[in-house]
Amino acid sequence: TAKEFKGKDSIKLDIVVAADEVYIIRTGIETNFAKTFLLSASQVYDFSKPLIIAVTSGDENTVFCRLYDAVTKVRIRREWNPNADWASIISEIQSRLTGVSSSVPLTQEQPTHPQDLRIKQIRTLLDYPLDLVKEYLQFQDVDRPSLLPTNKIDSLVKTMCLAWAADKFENPNLAESSYQKQVVDAVVNDADELAAIRAWMQQVAKAKTGVA
């Protein structure tokens, strides 16, 4: 796979693919497709190995690019960063294609997005099935929580919490009311969300034991 950046005048990115024939994928440099391609390609260090370029749809006319190792079928990913230094990424990829590495490596692992960490910690605390989180994300056409709007992430947190509480309340409305009061309202008042959920779980479990 090869890539050629045409420059700011044309604001186009040409992705030159060497397959059974030579194909050129041309896209606007400011598109989500171009940016997701560049972020993924920045994690490739040997372009002599075959890659799979896939497209996934977003909202309306938005499409995203995904790269996979053609042999292992493992997705090559990098944390989404809309403010990445695109010029440096393009330069580094071009250097790798020509066999000359730049003096600024792009190998540093990107920190986990706060919203991704938030969902991971809460899911682990609640012992909520990972597959259900993945299904929710797929339904929203994203592959990680940080790509969702905040209200959707909050909705996912609520879903996980109420799923945990489902067998601990006879009335679902009581579970939701308890969650709203002990977690949501507490967070509004600057409480740590994870601590609030843990305290809520302890309170609910204690109340259930008392009733039993």
Give the pLDDT band of residue 180 (cuts 50, 70, 90). very high
3-state helix, strand, coil in the chain (%, to 5): 50, 15, 35
Q: Is the model's pLDDT at 17 over the cut of 50? A: yes
Nearest to 66 by CA among 57, 79, 53, 51: 53
Distances (CA, A) of 190 to 73, 96, 126, 151, 180: 44, 47, 21, 18, 14
pTM of the model: 0.49
Task: Give a yes or no: residue 32 inside a domain.
Answer: yes
Residue 83 burial (CB < 10 Å; 0-12/13-18/19+)? exposed
Give a yes or no: residue 171 inside a domain.
yes
* 108 domain residue, yes or no: no
85 and 120 assigned to the same domain = no
Mean pLDDT of the chain: 84
Q: What is the pLDDT of residues 92-113, one digit of tens each?
A: 888 888 765 444 444 445 678 8
In a domain, 160, yes or no: yes
Number of domains in the chain: 2
Convert the pLDDT of each residue in 116-147 to its tens digit.
Answer: 999 999 999 999 999 999 999 999 999 999 99
| Residue after which a domain boundary falls, among 67, 98, 129 | 98
14 domain-assigned: yes
pLDDT of residue 210: 56
